[in-house]
Amino acid sequence: WAGYGYSISEFEIWNATMPAPAPSRGLLPRPVSMSETGGTPYTLNRNTPVVAVGPQATAPATYLAGLLRPATGYGLPVVTRSSAPAPIVVEVGAGKGPAGQAAEGYRLVVTTAKIQISADTPNGALNGVQTLRQLLPQWVESDTVVDAPWTVPAVTISDHPRFAHRGMMLDVARSFYPVHEVKAYIDAAAQYKINRLHLHLTDDQGWRIAVDNPASNPAGIDYGLLTSVSGRTAMTYNDNGQLMGTELGVTGFYTKADYAEIVRYAGLNGMTVVPEIDIPGHTNAALHAIPQLNTAGAAPRPATGAQTAPANGTGNVGYSTLDAASPATYEFVTQVLTQIAAMTPGPYLHIGGDEAHVTSRANYTTMVDSFNATVASLGKTVVGWNEYAGTALPQDKAVVQYWNGDRTAVANAVTRRGAKVVLSPAPHTYVPQKQDSRQPLGGTWACGGPCGLDRHYNWDPGTFIPNIAETSVLGVESALWGEFIRRLGQAQYYSLPRLIATAEVGWTPQAQRDYADFTTRLSVAGGRLTVQGVNFFPTTDVAWR
Ligand code: TNX
């Protein structure tokens, strides 16, 4: 063997069957309750159908069969039946899942003779499918046929999330991701039960969503310019404030059909899309494209590349604003939000509101109060970054997304306006922050140094904002800002595995979370991600196997 460059012992290690780490069989996120019932595992059979019980079971059953077919090469037809007995069953209906966990809970029972997933809702069943998937050998992730023993250990699992919102934000404005890359990003996250896709669609560097010209258009705005002009811009800075040479961010934009396809694909994967139009700051791309948005007599703003980069810090942010005194501002915002609302089936519309550093407090309040009311009139729940916590939030119908700064203002929004909270504290959820020198472009401002996997794991969303009840916390969200990250490969490299930490922070009860246990379970996930072709960061915190 020596002549071939490897030794027998290495070969044996490579060839050995790695035992799954106890407890919880390497499941991510860790389920609320699981017992190994022992005995002979279930073995998938070439001729077994996947039986959907209940009209709503077809989608999760189809998803399961679709996951299993490429690697097994089995046909796995999905058939519908009205009652349960069969080897593989996905059952959806009121009262089928764990009591009191209708939205997303599931039960998974595996015996020598059968696999059964039961839930009240399709998304609950989908969560059960994602768990089942992790109980199969990692080769199930292969997109071509593998000759492997398709066994599943005998277990009984009853599981549900701690928080309803387990999100990930993708900044497609600074650097664009074509639809197929967004889908791959969804694929990697969905297996960890991430259920919100927040798309940061607009910023200084680009405008990434098509808006049509409306019939009534008093200001004579050509909305097509948003994408024909600012769907091409993308001049970006790294975290040290350096312009990335002549290397532009990726440019492009989503047509309405593209956006509909993302919404559809996210939905198949149990994810709700939360679109963000960042206003009144972070608006250089709109000001550059639409002359009417610029203060009367002023020239349209130049593209972002002409702006001066700061010496260091968070990239070049906070230098643009809409004009509070101009009627065109409100006409434009209402038109854009109306069209985004119409193409978004989910309940949320995010209006940004962050870092409006060149907007006076009074102008900020005037504009954001108005934008809040516009979102409410469209029947959506408004979401904004925590800078907007003090504006006129619609009563019991607003979400504050915390990233940095004043936590008391967020608590006040909860107490006074009945707002809910999504937590994206920069040190715990910002994935462009570097983990070590292998991520040279990453920033260090959030943690005052590297932001490792442990920082993303070791925090409690239930107590993060002082003096509010945990029921006011909708959940957590990982944020992939795009100043220097380019394309899917880098997005995955910076997000994973820290996104998995966020998934578990959002899912697993605090008392059942332990970093050593987490990294032990994670140690077997690297192989699975590798088979999937996901470019994760092999952090030294984990003894990858
Ligand atoms: C702050 S976080 C921003 C973004 C940047 C990020 C990283 C937030 C709401 N705004 O515009 O991309 O820092 O530099």
Q: Cα 289 to the chain's mean position, in Å? A: 29
Nearest CA to ligand 1 atom 14: 314
pTM score over 0.90: yes
Atom of ligand 1 nearest to the CA of 481: 12
Residue 319 in contact with ligand 1 by CB distance below 6 A? no
Considering only 81-90, 188-197, 230-239, 460-469, which range has the smallest mean pLDDT? 230-239
Residue 402 in contact with ligand 1 by CB distance below 6 A? no
Domain boundaries, the chain: 23-159, 165-515
6: pLDDT confidence band, cut at 50, 70 and 90?
Answer: very low
Whether 355 is a known active-site residue: answer yes
ipTM of the complex: 0.94
Inter-residue contact 429 to 477 (CB < 8 Å): yes
Cβ density class 14-31: b for 16+ within 10 Å, e for less: eeeeeebbeebbbbbbbb
Residue 502 in contact with ligand 1 by CB distance below 6 A? no
Q: What is the mean pLDDT of residues 105-115?
A: 97
pLDDT number for residue 478: 98
From 355, 477, 483, 504, the catalytic residue: 355
297: pLDDT confidence band, cut at 50, 70 and 90?
Answer: low
Neighbouring CB atoms inside 10 A of 48's CB total 18
Residue 340 in contact with ligand 1 by CB distance below 6 A? no
Listing DSSP states for 260-284 in one string gives HHHHHHHHHTT-EEEEEEEESSS-H
Atom of ligand 1 nearest to the CA of 171: 12
Of 17, 39, 10, 270, nearest to 139 by C-alpha is 17
Q: Give the Å distance between the CA of 340 and the centre of ligand 1.
A: 22
Geometric angle at alpha carbon 410, from 201 and 495, rounded to 5°? 45
Inter-residue contact 485 to 433 (CB < 8 Å): no
Considering only 90-104, 123-137, 156-170, 226-240, which range has the smallest mean pLDDT? 226-240
pLDDT tops 90 at residue 319: no
Q: Of all residues in the chain, what percent carry a pLDDT higher than 90?
A: 81
Of 27, 23, 31, nearest to 160 by C-alpha is 31
Listing DSSP states for 112-148 in one string gives SS-EEEEESSHHHHHHHHHHHHHHS-GGGG-SS----
Q: Give the Å distance between the CA of 299 and the centre of ligand 1.
A: 27
Distance in angstroms (rounded) separating the CA atoms of residues 401 and 530: 33
Q: Give the Å distance between the CA of 409 and the centre of ligand 1.
A: 19
pLDDT tops 90 at residue 313: no
Distance in angstroms (rounded) separating the CA atoms of residues 453 and 543: 13
Q: Give the Å distance between the CA of 358 and the centre of ligand 1.
A: 16
Distance in angstroms (rounded) separating the CA atoms of residues 362 and 370: 12
Q: Residue 211, SS3?
A: coil
Question: 310 Cβ partners below 8 Å, 6+ apart?
Answer: 241, 316
Inter-residue contact 452 to 434 (CB < 8 Å): no
Q: What is the mean pLDDT of residues 57-63?
A: 98
CATH, domain 165-515, list 2.60.320.10, 3.40.930.10, 3.30.565.10, 3.20.20.80: 3.20.20.80
Distance in angstroms (rounded) separating the CA atoms of residues 197 and 261: 13
pLDDT number for residue 245: 46
pLDDT tops 50 at residue 12: no
pLDDT number for residue 345: 98
Distance in angstroms (rounded) separating the CA atoms of residues 137 and 370: 53
Question: pLDDT tens digits, residue range 191-209?
Answer: 999 999 999 999 998 999 9
Nearest CA to ligand 1 atom 1: 314
Taking CA atoms, 181 is separated from 64, 69, 150, 201, 492, in Å, by: 22, 22, 30, 15, 10
Residue 317 in contact with ligand 1 by CB distance below 6 A? yes
Neighbouring CB atoms inside 10 A of 81's CB total 15
Strand stretches in 71-209, DSSP E:
78-81, 88-92, 106-110, 115-119, 151-152, 155-159, 165-171, 196-200, 202-203, 206-207
Strand partners, 223: none
Inter-residue contact 145 to 207 (CB < 8 Å): no
Residue 355 in contact with ligand 1 by CB distance below 6 A? yes
Inter-residue contact 350 to 274 (CB < 8 Å): yes
Select from 198, 205, 277, 354 the residue to mutate for testing ligand 1; criterion: most ligand atoms less than 8 Å from CB: 354
Atom of ligand 1 nearest to the CA of 239: 14
Neighbouring CB atoms inside 10 A of 499's CB total 24
Q: Cα 208 to the chain's mean position, in Å? A: 18
- Mean pLDDT taken over the chain: 91
Q: Token pair of 115, please?
A: 């696999």
Of 254, 233, 113, nearest to 179 by C-alpha is 254
Question: pLDDT tens digits, residue range 477-492?
Answer: 999 998 888 899 999 9
Select from 236, 314, 423 the residue to mutate for testing ligand 1; criterion: most ligand atoms less than 8 Å from CB: 314
Atom of ligand 1 nearest to the CA of 317: 11
Select from 238, 242, 277, 317 the residue to mutate for testing ligand 1; criterion: most ligand atoms less than 8 Å from CB: 317
Residue 192 is classified by DSSP as T
153: pLDDT confidence band, cut at 50, 70 and 90?
Answer: very high
Q: What is the mean pLDDT of residues 441-468?
A: 94
Considering only 86-100, 153-167, 223-237, 278-292, which range has the smallest mean pLDDT? 223-237
Residue 401 in contact with ligand 1 by CB distance below 6 A? no
Q: Token pair of 128, please?
A: 């059960």
7: pLDDT confidence band, cut at 50, 70 and 90?
Answer: very low
Nearest CA to ligand 1 atom 8: 354
| Pairing of the two strands 115-119 and 88-92 | parallel
Fold exhibited by the domain 23-159: Chitobiase; domain 2 (3.30.379)
pLDDT number for residue 252: 93
Q: Residue 222, SS3?
A: coil
Q: Give the Å distance between the CA of 132 and the centre of ligand 1.
A: 37
Question: pLDDT tens digits, residue range 18-38?
Answer: 555 556 899 999 999 999 988
**Cα-only R_g, the chain:** 24
111: pLDDT confidence band, cut at 50, 70 and 90?
Answer: very high
Of 377, 375, 323, nearest to 352 by C-alpha is 375
Q: Give the Å distance between the CA of 348 and the centre of ligand 1.
A: 20
